[in-house]
Structure 1
Amino acid sequence: MGQRQDTHDRRNRGLWIGLALPGAIWLLVLFVAPFYVMLSVAGGGINEFFQTVVPVWNPLPWSSWNLSAVWHDIVGHGAFIGPPAFRTFLYTAIATAITLAIAYPVAYFVSRYGGRRKTLFLVLLIAPFWVSYMMRMLAWIDLLQQGGFFNSALSFFGLPGNTNWLGGKSVTVILGLVYGYIPYVILVLYAFLDRIDQSMLEAARDLGLSRWRTFWHVTIPLSKPAIIAGTFITALPMLGDYFTNQLLSGAP
């Protein structure tokens, strides 16, 4: 009986391995290998004469013995562990925090006070994002250039209006990231806040909690999964968003 059970377990194990093997090979070929090549290129530079990418290391002659050399290249050249990486994570953290700080009140207002106009509010919020992302960034460039609307408005109110906002300023990149990803966070938060059982909020009020304490001690804890989901939805694309940075700052 025990031997038969062992044979059955081995068959099941072999079956699961056989089912998982095609997916593992697919993942290795179409994700791991391209990601390894992307790492070598992402930390490299540009050949000034040929204007071609020069990778940190040559990804083609890969073998297990040069793993230590690859790691030395990554750390030693500062391609991924250095000021650029620090700025990337810093900009992403700040932009994510600002996005959540703006998106949560908007989603809360629409879910609680939108009434029959909820759909209209959501359409008005996301309508600008039906336009191409590049067109929206080009519109921001037109607004932020030296003779653009933003500097003209500052001059009108007696403030310095000659700031070069497109000259590599961190605030421009961060606000561009916030603008690009905030609708996704609003939709995620709204979808969750709209499903919160109102009887729980009413029970908290009946127990003597004020509106603010009810919001802080009931609504916020209940919406933590949506906040976490919104954080990942925002932060992960921001980490790899080269396009916004390049357009709004002109500097990598």
Structure 2
Amino acid sequence: MTDRCLVISIGAGLASLAAGVVALVLDAPEIGLVAGILGFLGAVAATAIAARARVAELALHETTVDRARLRRELDALAAIFAEEATRRAGPASDDALPQTELAVDPESGLLDQKFFTVLVQQRVAAARRALQPVSVVVFELDGVGRADASTKRQAIGVLGEVIRRTLRECDAACRIGETMAAAVLEDTAEAGAVWAAERVRGTLHACPVGDSLTVSAGIACYPSHALEAPRLVQRAGHALKTARANGRDHVEIAQAE
């Protein structure tokens, strides 16, 4: 499009010059008027070229800034994963676990708790750039807190399997406590987060242990409930407390500030 405007600008300028010379030689005011019109068209085309060049320059600058910011975030996340893998692996050995296994909690099958904070920060930052919502859902199994360790392991394993089977591939979930898990739902506002939490509850009910094992959930959404990742997690936690105060097997949404 810019090349077309450039050709029009040059052509209009040359035609205007030629028409002006002819008008001068033949003393024809009509041709002079044509020369003026052609000159005006050339000026318009030149202005359009300059405007498009400025827009392209600004777009390139924004893209460069976004790429640099994304690179810093990815580098930070990679460093955290590498540090955690090194810490867990201990002294080098022939049977060291792959890094992907080190990132997964073995009892729940969800991402390890150590990565939850970074995960939420990354998803909120991405949502802010894309002008999209993102939701955090915190789950806690009802009535399992005082159970023995074996029962807790079995319960969190069931919840982890249900969450993995229920959420989308673009979503992520971490174990964040003995009987707790949290999901980060990409491009999801309140209604979608409630639907996802209810699906987890419904799928858990359909399990063989569904009659004895229930879960409560608290939901908070960016940007309606919080603009920063730590506050978003805090609001989801408060909503979970409200859900548990209302009894077993409840889902609550954070109140707008």
TM-score normalized by structure 1?
A: 0.27
Q: Which has the higher helix share?
A: 1
Q: Highest CA radius of gyration, 1 or 2?
A: 2
TM-score normalized by structure 2?
A: 0.26
Q: Which has the higher strand share?
A: 2
